[in-house]
Amino acid sequence: MKGPHANRSQECSVEQVTAATLKQAGKVIAVHLAYQSRAEQRGRTPAKPSYFLKASSSLSLSGSAIERPAGCELLAYEGEIALVIGKAARRVSLENAWQHVGHVTASNDLGVYDLKYADKGSNVRSKSGDGFTPFGPGLIPAADVDPAALRVRTWVNGRLVQEDTTAGLIFPFSQIVADLSQLMTLEPGDIILTGTPAGSSVAVPGDLIEVEVDAPGAGLSTGRLRTAVVQGSAELADFGNGPKATDADREDAWGSAEAAGLAPQGLSAELKRKLTSVGTATLSAQLRKLGLNNVSIDGLKSTRPELRIAGTARTLRYVPNREDLFKTHGGGFNAQKRIINDLNDGDVLVMEARGEPGTGTVGDILALRAQVRGAAAIVTDGGVRDVAAVAALDMPTFFTGAHPAVLGRKHIPWDTDLTISCGGATVQPGDIIVGDSDGLLVIPPSLAEEVADGAIAQEHEETFIAEKVGEGNSVEGLYPMNAAWKAKFAEWAATHPNPAAQP
């Protein structure tokens, strides 16, 4: 319970957490995102803190076991510093907020990503399972430490996986306490989980997770909070939402696609080079050879027709506006804003707007955010607002036409990363989208290399054919080439290497 440099008087200032201590907790409040290292990992930095509640019955003592629920695969750990309120706080100031904190300790904000979808951000079931908030083992008096000089560390099976200090907080503890006290009374015993730094990942049955909070300068430590992970056997009842996990959930829970064992996202640089070295007209011919005739996104124009783009599809579906549903799904951090904020390098955001041009589906601010996130393009079979500003971006947007109206006139942003229809074509997340001044194509990832190589060879042949037509030759027998012309092409190709075939 004491740090390696603690003397006996310091040791006496750390008291052991008991079951009685946990019973005093009327509320358990958690901060969504509070460390800069975690924000950088997530790709977004909030301007103000936001919170969710955990059931007080989720609290458990050091040495307890935690069940990964049957049917779930993504039990994630989050080592955190917990604040225990010592004196009631209501509308306290930033300057006085720390005086209302009685103790600090270690906690582990466990949760199952398999159930996050069910509660629309409240985390009720994903975070409030019995034992999902281990706490302790020692309480350090808040008066004995500098809140800006605390450290939190997490180990899994003895390997250090998280380490940060409160110098890396986006929101200092005083701001969190003062902010929460504006609308609710923080009462003695209430617990605030102050967010986790980078390094949170997935634990599996058999793992031992340890979290420690210390004040290195004061020589004080909570000791290591130990939690063993075991496999639950009781299936969740089918009258409630059951476990469900997407690859996006796996990437979030594990911390990266690589850690989750997922295939690397996006195009390789070489495949992108191949696809953008040829026109969509040539690629379309190759797709037709493979029997794919319904893979063009039709009826759209580009803000940057001089550019060729290639990227992997992320999808967003709008549904027709219904006023009551727009109130619940259209405002705030809705599906449109969430997916734009989650785009990665090389993504192409493809929107299903039902071919309805009578309102905007994206405007200048969100298009700029997509560009900043590294998106290759935006594709919508609906309208675009602020067209002049959108057209001034480096990133092209493909759209049906301009319209000044906002979403609520015709659309509700409904869901993301699912199979959609856009411009008459079916688009799935991960499909490869290629576009230029001629239009847009959807290429199945499994066929992309074959299509690209075939298109590069075809364009080399057509360079030869165009040269011969320019010299006055008839297209008969030349386009397409008969055996005689193929022989002549082979001779020509021996001295005219195909530049697009070279990496």
Beta strands in 182-280 (DSSP E): 191-193, 201-203, 208-215, 220-221, 225-231
Q: Which residue has the higher pLDDT, 186 or 24?
A: 186
DSSP states along 130-172:
TT-EEE-SEEEEGGGS-TTS-EEEEEETTEEEEEEEGGGBSS-
Residue 6 has pLDDT above 80, yes or no: no
Query: In percent, how much of the chain has pLDDT > 70?
Result: 96
The C-alpha angle 49, 53, 56, rounded to 5 degrees, equals: 140
Beta strands in 321-416 (DSSP E): 347-352, 377-380, 383-384, 397-399, 401-402, 411-416
The pLDDT-based confidence of 13 (bands split at 50, 70, 90) is low
Contacts of 379 (CB under 8 A, 6+ apart): 297, 300, 348, 349, 350, 351, 397, 398, 399, 422, 423, 433, 435, 440
Question: pLDDT of 128-181, one tens digit each?
Answer: 999 999 998 999 999 999 999 999 999 999 999 999 999 999 999 999 999 999
Residue 262 has pLDDT above 80, yes or no: no
Task: Provide the pLDDT for residue 15.
Answer: 75
Task: Provide the pLDDT for residue 241.
Answer: 86
Instruction: Give the Cα separation of 87 and 450 in Å (integer).
Output: 68
Average pLDDT over residues 251-256: 86
Task: Provide the pLDDT for residue 9.
Answer: 36
Q: Which residue has the higher pLDDT, 105 or 499?
A: 105
Query: In percent, how much of the chain has pLDDT > 90?
Result: 71
93 token code pair? 């100031």
In order of their start, the domains of the chain are 8-254 (3.90.850.10), 293-443 (3.50.30.40), 450-501 (no CATH)
Question: pLDDT of 273-292, one tens digit each?
Answer: 999 999 999 999 999 999 99
Residue 12 has pLDDT above 70, yes or no: no
The C-alpha angle 353, 334, 76, rounded to 5 degrees, equals: 125
Task: Provide the pLDDT for residue 329.
Answer: 86
Q: If you search the block for the tokens 């793992």, which residue do you land on?
A: 207
Residue 10 has pLDDT above 90, yes or no: no
Amino acid identity, position 251? E
Residue 2 has pLDDT above 60, yes or no: no
Q: Please provide residue 148's backbone torsions phi and psi, each rounded to the nearest 5 degrees.
A: -90, 5
Average pLDDT over residues 171-196: 95
Task: Provide the pLDDT for residue 161.
Answer: 94
Contacts of 329 (CB under 8 A, 6+ apart): 335, 412, 413, 414
Contacts of 325 (CB under 8 A, 6+ apart): 319, 412
The pLDDT-based confidence of 264 (bands split at 50, 70, 90) is low
Binding residues: 363-366, 385-386
Question: Could you tell me the pTM of the whole model?
Answer: 0.58
Average pLDDT over residues 480-489: 91
Task: Provide the pLDDT for residue 191.
Answer: 95
Binding residues for Mg(2+): 386
351 burial class (0-12, 13-18, 19+ CB within 10 angstroms)? buried
**Whole-number mean pLDDT of the chain?**
90
The pLDDT-based confidence of 265 (bands split at 50, 70, 90) is low
Dihedral of CA atoms 317, 322, 324, 325 in degrees, nearest 10, equals -10
Question: pLDDT of 331-341, one tens digit each?
Answer: 888 989 999 98
Question: pLDDT of 381-405, one tens digit each?
Answer: 999 999 999 999 999 999 999 999 9
CB atoms within 10 A of CB 131: 17
Q: Which residue has the higher pLDDT, 404 or 41?
A: 404
Binding residues for substrate: 363-366, 385
324 burial class (0-12, 13-18, 19+ CB within 10 angstroms)? exposed
The pLDDT-based confidence of 7 (bands split at 50, 70, 90) is very low
The pLDDT-based confidence of 266 (bands split at 50, 70, 90) is low
78-82, 218-222, 234-238: which range is least confident on average?
A: 234-238
Task: Provide the pLDDT for residue 20.
Answer: 76
The pLDDT-based confidence of 11 (bands split at 50, 70, 90) is very low
Task: Provide the pLDDT for residue 263.
Answer: 58
Task: Provide the pLDDT for residue 228.
Answer: 95
Helix (H/G/I), strand (E/B), else coil: 426: strand
Task: Provide the pLDDT for residue 5.
Answer: 37
